[in-house]
Structure 1
Amino acid sequence: MIRRMNSGFHCDAIAGGFMDKYVKKKRLDPLEAYVPAVILSQLQIKDLEKTLDDEKPEFAACRSLLRSGPAGSLRINIRAVAQYASDGGNGKAASSDVDQCLRALEELDSLLLRASRNESDALVKSMKAEIGIAVDALDSLLQTVPQDVLDKGKAAADAYRIPRDMEPEILDPEIKQLESIL
């Protein structure tokens, strides 16, 4: 009986390997598509740390923030960046950064959940430590990105974060001067 199960498993493993050449894997988008999203996610996580400084932080809202906006697709985006790093010869370090970031965010999520349930062992200090670990891991991962791609990604992320009502003042001071004359 044991032999049959083992041989059946072996056949399944062979069949899985056999099917791999028939299954098309989705090709990754260009690296430029992932970098701004990773940078925005990192900024969103840093903003979360500021939220924890409030006198009475809304822990449930903080958990929700980890699942929305750019941070909502962080797992996919950092794995794609790590794949590009792997193709460039930095796979081991990038993979480690991804694992470290995801572990820290999972621990942060757990701490936020416990805090939202008013459990006393969830400390804001521990939450901030996990945020620091995640942000540092993202910094390390972004160091594997070629500088020109990173610069473009930062510019795109900065443009995305500029409040829409402040764009004319920040982007073109001459327009502000013309508006004051009119």
Structure 2
Amino acid sequence: MAASPIDKYVKRKKLDPLEAYVPPVILAQLQIQDLEQFLNVEKPEFLACRSLLRSGPASSLRVNIRAVAQYASDAGDSNTASDDVDRCLRALEELDSLFLRASRKDSNATVELMKSQLGTALTALDSLLQTVPSQVLDRGKAMVEVYRSPSEQDDLSDSSEIQQLQSIL
């Protein structure tokens, strides 16, 4: 692989362990899935959808999926992971644009187009998560399940897994 002559002068930050990136990606995926419920109402609030797309776990999705793709690349799945990241980001950018245009009463920004872009982004995220080793993925899903559980028990709030997830997010 040919490297740029500048590469030897640029310090690259070492990636955190893969386990640090998987739960936020899964949470962002769930957050994007939740957007579909906002679109199923009679008069969707497009600015609220746009805000949801830019907040919480989805706000750091770009960084997190690129890190997951880097790990996939290191494991030999570089083409698939890179394509998934590109597809997901393009779909989310188009979705953001559709939300903005719809909020400005653009008749070409239809809910059907929005749902199509949602589907594209979610499919790409699913495909990217398939590159994650099953043990890491299962641990990430378990952390997300604990994080999203509605239980308000004090003993759960002291859990080391919750504290670890909160520090990641």
Interval containing the TM-score (normalised by the shorter chain): 0.7 to 0.9
Q: Aligned pairs, how many?
A: 153
- Equivalent positions of 1:24-173 (< 5 A) are 24-165=11-152
Structure showing greater Rg? 1
Q: Distance in 2 between matches of 1:66 and 1:111?
A: 12
| One-letter identity of the residue aligned with 1:65 | L
| One-letter identity of the residue aligned with 1:146 | P
CA shift, 1:22, in A, is 2.4
| One-letter identity of the residue aligned with 2:131 | T
| One-letter identity of the residue aligned with 1:22 | Y
CA shift, 1:151, in A, is 0.1
CA shift, 1:163, in A, is 2.1
CA shift, 1:71, in A, is 0.2
Please list the CA deviations of residues 140-179 of structure 1 after superposition, one character each: whole Å capped at 9, or x if unmatched. Answer: 00000000000000011111111244899xxxxxxxxxxx
State the secondary structure of the residue aligned to 2:83.
helix
Please list the CA deviations of residues 69-116 of structure 1 after superposition, one character each: whole Å capped at 9, or x if unmatched. Answer: 000000000000000000000000000000000011011111111100
| One-letter identity of the residue aligned with 1:88 | A
Greater RCO (CA < 8 Å, at least 6 residues apart): 2
The alignment's TM-score, normalised by the length of structure 1, stands at: 0.80
Q: Distance in 1 between matches of 2:113 and 2:75?
A: 35
The alignment's TM-score, normalised by the length of structure 2, stands at: 0.86
| One-letter identity of the residue aligned with 2:85 | V
Q: Identity of aligned pairs, percent?
A: 68
What corresponds to 2:160 in structure 1? none
The change in CA–CA distance for 1:83 and 1:125 in structure 2 (over 3 A counts) is: same
Q: Distance in 2 between matches of 1:167 and 1:113?
A: 41
- Unaligned 5+ segments in structure 2 are 156-169
CA shift, 1:20, in A, is 2.1
The change in CA–CA distance for 1:167 and 1:127 in structure 2 (over 3 A counts) is: farther
State the secondary structure of the residue aligned to 2:21.
helix
The structure carrying a bigger helix percent of its residues is 1
